[in-house]
C-alpha cells in the first residue's frame, strides 16, 4: 500500500512555492518555451521563466479580459475590455499590432496553426515564396516624430525586427487567431494581423429533428465564453450562454416562435474554408498585411512631414508678419512684397523695411529662420527618400502580385479576391507614386527659392548696416527673388500638397496639360485623368479607401462561408447562476482519436474533441457538484446523417467535501481538476487538492439527439453519474485554498496553481523520475 501511495503522489511533485504581488486572473504557458504569461487583477501582463524569474511587465492601460499565445510562442495576443486585440513581443513585451475587431470585451482567444505542412502535387513540402525581397531592400519603418523618444509613437524601435518577423509570414505555417466577445461575435484573423472573417452566433440557425413540424433553433442574447479551433482548422467549437429560441412552421404554415430558458450551450462551426483554401489565403494575407503596414508608414510619413513643415512655416511667418504691421504704422499703402521688390530694384528703402531688416529681423534672425525652413525641407526630402517613396514602390509591386492572383479566378475568386477591385487599387497605388514624384519636385523648388531669398536678405542687411560684405555670403539670383515674392511669400504649395482638407481644394492644372493626360488615358494602362488636380494627401486617402474596399471583399466572402454545423444544449442556467456563467470552469481540447470505444467511422478524422465544464448546482434535479464531459460533438452531425451517433458524455461527481475551482484538459485525454475544501471558513483559509483523471477510462455513455427545445442531453445521465474517489485517482494535497486560473502546460508537463493568499505553486505532472529528482 505504501508503494501505491508513493506512485500516486509522484506526478505532483512541488517545484516551488512563490509569492505574487497581486492576485492573478489569467495565466497561460508558452507552447514552445518555459515561459508563463500572467495577468494581474489590475491588468498588468507579467512574463516569468519556469524558475520564476520575471522577464518583463507591461500595462496596456485598459482592463485585460483574455490572453493566448501564438502557436510558435513568439507573440502574445491580449484581449481588452474595449474590444481591442493587441499583439505583444515575447522578448520584451513591446506592442506589435492592435486590431479593433470587437465593440465589447474580448472574453476568449484561441490561436491555432495548421497541423500539416503544405504540399504540392508531387507531395513535396511547399512554402509560399514572397518575391518582394528579391527586388526590393527591406521595407521602410515608420519615421520618428521629432522630439519623441522611442516608444512614444506606439511603434517599435528601429533596432527591433519583431514586427517584421510577425508580418513576414512566408515561412510560417498557416495560422488563425480566433476571438470571441460577450455580445456573441467571433472574429478571425490570419497570422493575427489580417482580419479574414466575422460572424455572430445569433444569426445561425440549426434544424431540429421534430416529428410533425419543421423547426430551426437560434440563440438569443448569447455571450461567448470559450472558442477552440481544431488543429486541422476545419471546426471551431464555441461554448456560450444564451436563450435558445425555436422558429417553426405549423401544419397550416403559420410561423411560430417558442422561447426556452437561458442555458449553457455548445455550437460547432464549419470553418473548413480555412483548410480548403489555406494556400490561397496564405498568399493573400501575406501581401495584404504587408501592404497595410506600408500604408501606415505612408500615413505616419505624411503626418511627420506636415508637422515639420508647419512648424517651419510658423517660424517664418512669426518673424515676417511683423513687417505688415510696420508698414501700417508708417502710413504706407503697400504690402511686404512690394517693399521688398522696391529694395531689390535699387529704389529708396522705406523706413518700415529698414526697421524690419535692421532692428526686428537682423542677420541672426535671418539665419535662424533660414535654418528652420531649409532644415525642414531637407528633413522632408529624407523622409520621402527613406520612407514615403520606398513604401509606395513596394505597395505598387505587391498590388501587382495581387492583381496577378486575382486573374486566376478558379482559385481566388472563391475567397473574394475581386479582379475589378484589385485593378482599381493597383491603379491608385501607381497614382500615389506619381504624386510622390511631383511632391519631390515641388519641395525641391520651394526650398531652393527660400534659400535664395534668405541669401538676398543677408546681403541687404549687410548693406543697410554699412558693414563690409562677407565673402562667405552665398550668391543669389534676382529673378528667383522676384518669383518667390510673387508666388511663394504668402502661399504654401508644400503645405497644400500635405494637408488632407475636408474641402475639395483642387490644384489648378492648365488645359493643355489636362488634354495631354486625357490622350495618355486613351492608350490604356490607367483611367484616372484627374489625379493632377489632387494633392498628395487626397491621393493617399483615395489609395487607402481603394485598399479597404478590395480587402473587405475576402473578409465578407469568408464570413459567409463559415457555417453553423450543430448546436448542443449543455445545461440550463438557474437565475442564481446566470450572471456567473462567465466564471464557470470550462475547457475545450482536441486529441488524436486512439479510443476503441469510438466508432470506426470516425477514426478517419483523427481528431476527437473533449468539452468539459462544471454544471451549476440546481441545473438538474438530483445532480449537484458535478462536472460534465462531452466528446465527439465536432463530427456528430455528420455521424447522424450516416446512421449512428458519435456523441458521448459522462457526469463526474466531485468527491464529498470538495468543490471544483477550475479544470483543464491535459494531453493524452487527461483532465486536471483543481478542488477546494468546502469546509473552509474563508476564501483564504483551508486546503485544496489537484487531481488527474484519465478520460479514456471514464464510463462514457452515448447521447441521443434532441427532440425538443429544452431537451438537455446531459439530463439522460442523471442515473449514471460517476463518483470520483480521492483514493482511486492521482491526487496531490495543496496546503492552501486555491482560486482560478489553473495553468497547465502540455509540453512541459507542469501545472501552476494560484492560492487565495497570493501565492503561486508550480507542480510537475509527468511521471518522469529524472524530473522528480531534479525537483527534489
Collapsing DSSP to helix, strand or coil, 656 comes out as coil
Indicate whether 158 pLDDT > 50. no
Indicate whether 6 pLDDT > 50. no
The tens digit of pLDDT for each residue in 301-348 reads: 999 999 999 999 999 999 999 999 999 988 888 899 999 999 998 877
Q: What share of the chain is helix, strand, coil (3-state, %, to 5)?
A: 40, 30, 35
Most confident of 462-476, 678-692, 722-736: 722-736
Least confident of 85-99, 123-137, 226-240: 123-137
Collapsing DSSP to helix, strand or coil, 381 comes out as helix
Least confident of 400-404, 471-475, 763-767: 471-475
Indicate whether 768 pLDDT > 60. no
Residue 505 to residue 487: CA distance in whole angstroms: 18
In three state form, how does the secondary structure of 227-243 look?
EEECCCCCEEEEEEEEE
What pLDDT does 592 receive? 76
186's enclosing H/E stretch is strand 185-190
More confident residue, 550 or 773: 550
Indicate whether 408 pLDDT > 80. yes
Indicate whether 627 pLDDT > 80. yes
What pLDDT does 153 receive? 39
The tens digit of pLDDT for each residue in 648-660 reads: 889 999 998 899 9
What pLDDT does 119 receive? 54
The b/e string for 532-568 (b: 16+ C-beta within 10 A; e otherwise) is: bebbbbbbbebbbebbeebbebbbebbbebbebbbbb
The three grid cell numbers given for residue 687, joined into one nine-digit string: 486546503
Task: Please say whether the beta carbons of 91 and 75 come within 8 A.
Answer: no
Strands of the 84-89 sheet, one edge to the other: 64-69, 75-80, 84-89, 95-100
Instruction: Label residue 45 by pLDDT band (50, 70, 90).
Output: very high
The tens digit of pLDDT for each residue in 54-92 reads: 999 999 999 999 999 999 999 999 999 999 999 999 999
Indicate whether 523 pLDDT > 50. yes
Rg of the chain on CA atoms, in Å: 34
What pLDDT does 553 receive? 96
Residue 466, phi then psi, degrees to nearest 5? 55, 35
Task: Please say whether the beta carbons of 651 and 701 come within 8 A.
Answer: no
More confident residue, 64 or 154: 64
Residue 185 to residue 199: CA distance in whole angstroms: 6
Give this prediction's pTM. Answer: 0.85
- Mean of the per-residue pLDDT values for the chain? 83
**Mean pLDDT for the stretch of residues 30-56:** 93
Residue 653 to residue 691: CA distance in whole angstroms: 13
The three grid cell numbers given for residue 179, joined into one nine-digit string: 476571438
Indicate whether 372 pLDDT > 70. yes
What pLDDT does 152 receive? 39
C-alpha neighbours within 13 Å on the C-beta side of residue 621:
0
Instruction: Label residue 711 by pLDDT band (50, 70, 90).
Output: low
What pLDDT does 287 receive? 93
Task: Let me know the angle formed at the C-alpha of 643 by 638 and 644, rounded to the nearest 5 degrees.
Answer: 75
Closest CA to 240 of 205, 201, 187: 201
Residue 644, phi then psi, degrees to nearest 5? -145, 170
Least confident of 498-502, 706-710, 757-761: 706-710
**Mean pLDDT for the stretch of residues 576-586:** 68
Indicate whether 117 pLDDT > 70. no
What pLDDT does 207 receive? 61
Collapsing DSSP to helix, strand or coil, 473 comes out as coil
- How does DSSP classify residue 623? B
Indicate whether 180 pLDDT > 80. yes
Strand pairing category for 84-89 and 95-100: antiparallel
What pLDDT does 604 receive? 41
The three grid cell numbers given for residue 377, joined into one nine-digit string: 525641407
What pLDDT does 772 receive? 36
Name every residue whose Cβ is closer than 8 Å to that of residue 31 and which is 6 or more positions away in sequence. Answer: 69, 71, 72, 73, 747
Residue 644 to residue 703: CA distance in whole angstroms: 11
More confident residue, 139 or 771: 139
The tens digit of pLDDT for each residue in 256-313 reads: 556 677 888 999 999 999 999 999 999 999 999 999 999 999 999 999 999 999 999 9
Collapsing DSSP to helix, strand or coil, 174 comes out as coil
What pLDDT does 474 receive? 72
Least confident of 274-283, 382-391, 684-693: 684-693
**Mean pLDDT for the stretch of residues 351-368:** 91
Amino acid at each position: 500500500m505504501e508503494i501505491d501511495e508513493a506512485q500516486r503522489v509522484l506526478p505532483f511533485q512541488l517545484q516551488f512555492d512563490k509569492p505574487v504581488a497581486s492576485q492573478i486572473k489569467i495565466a497561460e504557458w508558452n507552447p514552445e518555451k518555459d515561459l508563463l504569461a500572467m495577468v494581474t487583477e489590475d491588468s498588468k501582463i507579467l512574463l516569468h521563466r519556469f524558475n520564476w524569474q520575471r522577464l518583463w511587465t507591461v500595462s496596456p492601460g485598459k482592463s485585460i479580459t483574455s490572453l493566448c499565445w501564438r502557436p510558435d510562442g513568439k507573440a502574445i495576443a491580449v484581449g481588452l475590455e474595449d474590444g481591442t486585440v493587441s499583439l505583444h513581443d515575447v522578448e520584451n513585451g513591446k506592442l506589435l499590432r492592435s486590431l479593433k475587431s470587437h465593440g465589447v470585451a474580448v472574453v476568449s482567444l484561441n490561436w491555432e496553426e495548421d497541423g500539416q505542412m503544405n504540399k504540392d502535387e508531387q507531395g513535396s513540402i511547399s512554402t509560399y515564396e514572397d518575391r518582394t525581397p528579391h527586388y526590393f531592400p527591406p521595407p521602410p519603418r515608420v519615421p520618428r516624430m521629432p522630439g519623441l523618444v522611442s516608444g512614444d509613437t506606439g511603434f517599435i524601435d528601429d533596432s527591433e525586427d519583431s514586427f517584421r518577423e510577425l508580418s513576414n509570414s512566408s515561412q510560417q505555417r498557416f495560422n488563425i487567431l480566433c476571438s470571441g466577445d460577450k455580445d456573441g461575435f467571433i472574429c478571425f484573423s490570419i497570422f493575427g494581423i489580417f482580419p479574414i472573417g466575422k460572424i455572430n452566433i445569433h444569426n445561425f440557425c440549426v434544424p431540429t429533428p421534430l416529428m410533425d413540424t419543421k423547426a430551426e433553433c437560434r440563440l438569443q442574447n448569447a455571450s461567448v465564453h470559450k472558442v477552440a479551433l481544431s488543429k486541422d482548422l476545419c471546426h471551431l467549437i464555441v461554448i456560450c450562454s444564451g436563450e435558445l429560441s425555436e422558429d417553426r412552421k405549423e401544419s397550416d404554415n403559420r410561423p411560430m416562435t417558442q422561447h426556452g430558458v437561458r442555458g449553457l450551450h455548445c455550437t460547432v462551426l464549419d470553418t473548413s474554408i480555412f483548410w480548403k483554401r489555406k494556400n490561397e489565403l496564405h498568399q493573400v494575407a501575406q501581401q495584404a498585411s504587408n501592404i497595410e503596414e506600408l500604408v501606415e508608414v505612408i500615413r505616419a510619413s505624411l503626418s511627420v512631414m506636415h508637422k515639420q513643415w508647419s512648424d517651419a512655416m510658423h517660424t517664418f511667418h512669426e518673424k515676417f508678419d511683423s513687417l505688415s504691421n510696420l508698414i501700417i504704422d508708417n502710413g504706407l499703402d503697400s504690402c511686404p512684397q512690394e517693399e521688398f521688390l522696391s529694395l531689390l530694384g535699387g529704389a529708396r528703402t522705406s523706413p518700415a523695411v529698414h526697421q524690419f531688416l535692421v532692428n526686428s529681423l537682423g542677420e541672426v534672425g535671418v539665419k535662424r529662420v533660414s535654418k528652420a525652413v531649409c532644415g525642414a525641407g531637407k528633413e522632408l526630402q529624407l523622409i520621402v527618400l527613406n520612407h514615403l517613396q520606398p513604401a509606395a514602390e513596394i505597395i505598387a509591386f505587391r498590388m501587382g502580385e495581387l492583381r496577378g492572383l486575382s486573374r486566376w479566378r478558379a482559385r481566388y475568386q472563391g475567397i473574394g479576391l475581386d479582379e475589378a477591385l484589385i485593378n482599381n487599387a493597383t491603379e491608385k497605388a501607381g497614382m500615389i507614386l506619381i504624386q510622390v514624384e511631383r511632391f519631390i519636385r515641388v519641395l525641391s523648388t520651394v526650398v531652393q527659392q527660400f534659400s535664395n531669398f534668405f541669401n538676398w536678405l543677408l546681403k541687404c542687411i549687410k548693406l543697410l548696416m554699412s558693414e563690409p560684405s562677407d565673402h562667405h555670403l552665398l550668391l543669389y539670383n534676382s529673378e528667383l527673388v522676384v518669383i518667390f515674392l510673387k508666388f511663394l511669400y504668402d502661399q504654401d504649395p508644400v503645405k497644400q500638397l500635405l494637408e488632407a482638407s475636408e474641402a475639395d481644394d483642387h490644384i489648378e492644372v492648365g488645359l493643355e496639360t489636362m488634354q495631354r493626360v486625357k490622350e495618355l488615358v486613351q492608350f490604356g494602362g490607367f483611367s484616372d485623368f484627374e489625379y493632377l488636380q489632387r494633392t498628395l494627401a487626397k491621393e493617399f486617402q483615395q489609395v487607402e479607401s481603394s485598399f479597404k474596399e478590395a480587402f473587405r471583399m475576402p473578409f465578407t466572402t469568408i464570413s459567409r462561408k463559415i457555417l453553423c454545423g450543430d448546436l448542443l444544449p449543455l445545461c440550463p442556467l438557474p437565475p442564481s447562476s446566470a450572471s456567473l456563467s462567465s466564471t464557470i470552469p470550462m475547457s475545450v481540447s482536441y486529441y488524436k482519436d486512439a479510443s476503441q470505444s469510438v466508432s470506426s467511422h470516425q477514426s478517419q478524422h483523427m481528431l476527437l474533441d473533449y468539452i468539459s465544464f462544471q454544471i451549476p448546482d440546481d441545473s438538474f434535479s438530483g445532480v449537484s457538484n458535478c462536472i460534465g464531459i462531452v466528446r465527439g460533438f465536432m463530427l456528430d452531425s455528420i455521424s447522424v446523417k450516416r446512421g449512428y451517433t458519435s456523441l458521448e458524455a459522462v457526469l463526474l461527481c466531485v468527491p464529498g467535501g470538495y468543490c471544483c475551482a477550475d479544470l483543464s484538459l491535459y494531453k493524452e485525454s487527461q483532465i486536471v481538476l483543481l478542488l477546494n475544501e468546502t469546509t473552509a471558513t474563508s476564501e483564504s483559509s483551508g486546503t485544496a487538492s489537484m487531481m488527474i483523471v484519465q478520460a479514456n477510462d471514464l464510463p462514457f455513455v452515448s447521447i441521443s439527439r434532441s427532440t425538443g427545445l429544452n431537451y438537455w442531453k446531459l439530463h439522460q445521465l442523471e442515473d449514471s453519474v460517476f463518483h470520483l474517489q480521492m483514493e482511486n485517482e492521482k491526487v496531490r494535497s495543496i496546503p492552501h485554498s486555491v482560486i482560478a486560473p489553473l495553468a497547465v502546460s502540455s509540453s512541459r508537463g507542469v501545472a501552476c496553481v494560484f492560492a487565495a493568499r497570493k501565492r503561486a505553486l508550480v507542480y510537475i505532472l509527468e511521471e518522469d523520475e529524472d524530473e522528480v529528482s531534479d525537483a527534489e
